[in-house]
């Protein structure tokens, strides 16, 4: 009957690891211009392999659905007008953001750098900036080098 204690220890270890892997950190973004807007077919397969065991399958499915322009409310989409783009980024900077995970952006055997997946929760941001049609969390991919720890000395 030594099998039960070993299985329990492994199960507990797995559950603790999963809980730690899904812990999100509040962050700020220094430069929004590097954010991914449209992801090509096949983008997610290597990413999914890297994130396996670090985030849940249901979270990964949600990220895939709400992590490009087609999955965002109109306000979050690319603004070609420079003044509108600057206004949009000012609002982005005010929003509460969390780093969900990072991964290496490897395509055709070449590493294009570490990317961060950010979650912008609508519930926490409703009072910061209401957006028409926004009633779900959205996700951005930005270069990890542009993500910094959240600054506590702002007015949020």
In angstroms, the first-to-last Cα distance of the chain is: 55
Which string of DSSP letters, residue by residue, matches 102-136? EEEEEETTEEEEEEEEEEE-HHHHTTT---TT--S
Tens-digit pLDDT profile for residues 100-154? 999 999 888 889 999 999 999 999 999 988 888 899 999 999 999 999 999 876 5
Domain map (residue ranges) of the chain: 35-149
Give the tokens for residue 81.
């007008």
Q: What pLDDT is recorded for position 57?
A: 95
Nearest to 151 by CA among 31, 29, 33, 35: 29
Q: Give the three-class secondary structure for 16.
A: helix
The bridge status of strand 138-143 relative to strand 110-120 is antiparallel
Tens-digit pLDDT profile for residues 48-62? 999 999 999 999 999
Q: Which carries the bigger pLDDT value, residue 41 or residue 104? A: 104
Tens-digit pLDDT profile for residues 71-103? 999 999 999 999 999 999 999 999 999 999 999
Strands of the chain (E only): list them.
25-29, 97-107, 110-120, 138-143, 147-149
Q: Which range has the worst mean pLDDT, 14-18, 60-64, 67-71, 148-152?
A: 14-18
């Amino acid at each position: 009957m030594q099998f039960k204690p070993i299985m329990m220890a492994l199960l507990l270890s797995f559950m603790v690891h999963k809980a730690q892997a899904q812990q999100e950190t509040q962050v700020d973004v220094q430069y929004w211009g590097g954010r991914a807007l449209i992801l090509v077919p096949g983008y997610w397969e290597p990413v999914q392999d890297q994130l396996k065991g670090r985030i849940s399958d249901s979270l990964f499915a949600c990220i895939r659905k709400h992590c490009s322009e087609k999955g965002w409310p109109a306000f979050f989409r690319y603004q070609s007008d420079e003044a509108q783009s600057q206004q949009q980024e000012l609002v982005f900077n005010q929003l509460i953001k969390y780093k969900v995970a990072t991964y290496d952006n490897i395509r055709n055997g070449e590493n294009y750098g570490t990317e961060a997946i950010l979650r912008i929760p609508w519930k926490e941001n409703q009072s910061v900036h209401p957006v028409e049609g926004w009633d779900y969390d959205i996700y951005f991919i930005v270069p990890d080098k542009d993500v910094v720890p959240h600054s506590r000395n702002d007015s949020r």
